Structure 1
Amino acid sequence: MLITAEQKNTRQSPRKVRLVVNVVRKVPLEQALKQLAVMEKRASLVVTKVIRQAIANAWHNHHIAFGDLTLKNITVNAGPVYKRWQAVSRGRAHSIYKRTSHIKVVLETKAADTPVAVKPAVSDTAVSKQPGPAIAPKKTAKNKPKQSTVTSQTQRAK
């Protein structure tokens, strides 16, 4: 079962948040939370918050305990960009882009809850021909040669 949590429009650039997310992407969930707690990046607070939100969603919505969860995926996408300007010399202005990001965390349960559907084996004896009405072969029309509609130039001239 997949459990998701998402934080949108976080006022931090996606590039800086991805630096934090790449550290904990392939790590067990408990160890990821420990690493984020000691990391000295501002994005680690936001990522920790979203992971804890996903854990709370798992417990509140599906009654799945923390020990039964694994970190499947964390994605960081770019959000809207706020465009500002700053005055510089000679009456000019330079643009400033205040980037935002969307952080999505996907957790899954450790044990597979859904059994795999198995097709029953079909033996040759089970598929025997049943007596029934005989099917006649289709009758096809014989191909007749088509008459040419194009006339020669001598006939057109007349």
Structure 2
Amino acid sequence: MGQSKNPRRVSEQQAMAKGRLIRTSPQKLNLVAQLIRGMPVEKALAELTFSHKRVAQHVKKVLESAIANAENNHDLDIDSLIVDQAFVGKNMVMKRWRARARGRTGKILKPFSEITIVVKEVEEAA
């Protein structure tokens, strides 16, 4: 006897992907996440492909994973997917120090973030 099946975290018409330990601050990552919220997935992929922000490539990878999850795991039509949610959270912070004058130290914080992207299948209006 194995474990019982985990309950779905999203509804039947949705699929989710999560990217963890992305080496940027949550504030910078949220600027890229704002670009794609509510967009159709093909438009969002094009937006991320031509974005000048470094972190856009990480977000694109997570979005592609969410699309693959929708297609392979949940049998959703990829042509009618939109980005339903894209939210950002904090992750760990590496703490480093730098020598300063008179025997003191300066604190250097290197933040990590995580992003969750939820795609949803919508019916096309006739």
After TM superposition, the score normalised by the length of structure 1 is: 0.67
Larger Rg: 1
1:21-76: CA deviations, max 9, x gaps? 11222322211111111111111001100000000111111222310211100001
Q: Give the length in aligned residue pairs.
A: 111
- The 5 Å alignment of 1:58-137 reads 58-111=70-123
Are the aligned partners of 2:40 and 2:80 in contact in 1 as well (CA < 8 Å)?
no
2:42 equivalent among 10, 20, 30: 30
Deviates more, 1:41-50 or 1:24-33: 24-33
Alignment of 1:48-67 (within 5 A): 48-67=60-79
| Residue 39 of structure 1 pairs with residue 51 of structure 2 | yes
**Percent sequence identity over matched residues?**
36
| Stretches of structure 1 lacking an aligned partner (at least 5 in a row) | 112-158
In structure 1, distance between residues paired with 2:82 and 2:112: 27
Mapped contact 2:92–2:113 kept (Cα < 8 A): yes
Counterpart of 1:65, as a letter, is D
Q: Highest relative contact order (Cα 8 Å, sep 6+), 1 or 2?
A: 2
| Residue matched to 1:11 | 23
**What stretches of structure 2 of length at least 5 have no aligned partner?**
1-12
Structure 2 residue aligned with 1:155: none
How far, CA to CA, are the matches of 1:39 and 1:3 in structure 2?
Answer: 24
Query: Which has the higher mean CA deviation after the structures are superposed, 19-28 or 89-98?
Result: 19-28
Superposed CA RMSD in Å reads: 1.1
